[in-house]
Amino acid sequence: MTVKPKKILIVGAGIGGLTTALACLHHGFEVQVLEQAPALENMGAGIQIPPNASKILAALGLEQEIAAHAFRPQALQTRMGQSGRQVFSIALDAKTLNHWGAAYYHIHRADYVAVLSTALQVRANNALLLNAAFSHYQQTADGVVAHMADGRQFHGDILIGADGLRSSVRQQILGPEQPRFTGNMAWRAVVPLAALECPPPTSACVWMGPGRHAVTYHLGDGLVNFIGVVERQDFLQEDWHTTGARQQAAADFADWHPMITGLIDKAEALHCWGLYDRQTLSTWVDGRVGLLGDAAHPMLPFMAQGAAMAVEDGWALARCLASYASDTPRAALNIADALGDYQRHRLPRTQAAQNASRRNAKTFHRSTVVSQLANYGPMWLGGKWAPNLVRQRLDWLYCHDETAVTVG
């Protein structure tokens, strides 16, 4: 493994895979993205782009395109689900965003992917290959070969698995594993704002309640995003394309605020899926092969950081590889060392985000009056009398600038 890496193979063309490709191009590498789908479909729902991810998109020259399709929320809020009473609100004004160092956006996932894929096509026209279902990889003395299900082979210096929760690359590295059902299922819908008699606030808003919570936020093009998470123990498949019954969603949030029940009533389709968790991986690296995003550190969607951490991963990986490939003393490292640097750098931060997401699952679902007062009372007091302290609890996430970090 003494030859400097030139070509990076990336399995998966989601947000993490596409960002990684753009970051690797930015750092001087050739890339090939292998995506099993026949097209990058116009599917999905809303997604949040917090400041830690916005900084990387800006470094890649994409913020203007993102902003053109996105909505800028006015605050981060928590409310009680039934009464709608506000617990706290963090204004996303110029002072806050300057403190965090970048903008905060809401965007439809399809628009996000379109911005990334269009940029990749402009910067490297043949880099994205569709209808390329990954089968397995094979490492050689001087490279790695990606074998497709139809027998095609692609050669590179490094292979990165950005193929999500059910990663085939991860399975080859670590073997089969069984995810853990968390006892939660999620509803999601995108609803036209014009259809709502009682629209939710123009904030990223978490609505908390016994055994369930909801998240609402506005998107570009006059849309509103809804996520509803409910505790239930029966098995649900881990596939967010499954359509659920409106009657069940309405029953799950029957006594909630009209802003929530109105979203459920006006949604054209309500999708549902089970939320699964996975143990922290023992390694993300196998020689010339590495993992990122949900393939490396799948996390529950209770911090709006899953995609953001994948975006950070992409930049960090490209920077570690570029450091190895440069003319600095670090160029004496081999490829496995460079990927090991990437894992050691990213593991503590992604674990912290995973753990925070797991904690929020409990915080949002307090069932008794005593537990609600014990948890939400201090939040309310902090929001009323010490809003800067409430905001500072998010600084470790949002102030972070992966583009300014030096590894090694």
Closest CA to 58 of 100, 96, 9: 100
Is 217 a catalytic site residue?
yes
How far is Cα 332 from Cα 118, in angstroms, rounded to an integer? 36
Q: Which residues does 260 contact at the CB level (< 8 Å), separation at least 6?
A: 81, 200, 207, 214, 216, 226, 228, 253
Question: Token pair for residue 183?
Answer: 């006892």
Q: Which one from 217, 276, 376, 398 is the annotated catalytic residue?
A: 217
Distance in Å from the first CA to the final CA of the chain = 19
Cα-Cα-Cα-Cα dihedral of 297, 303, 305, 306, to 10°? 40
With residue 302 as reference, give the H or E element that holds it: none
- Show Cβ contacts of residue 230 under 8 Å, excluding neighbours closer than 6 positions: 184, 185, 186, 187, 211, 212, 252
Joined together, the tokens standing for residue 392 give 């500072």
162/327 Cα distance (integer angstroms): 28
Instruction: Give the residue numbers marked as catalytic.
Output: 217
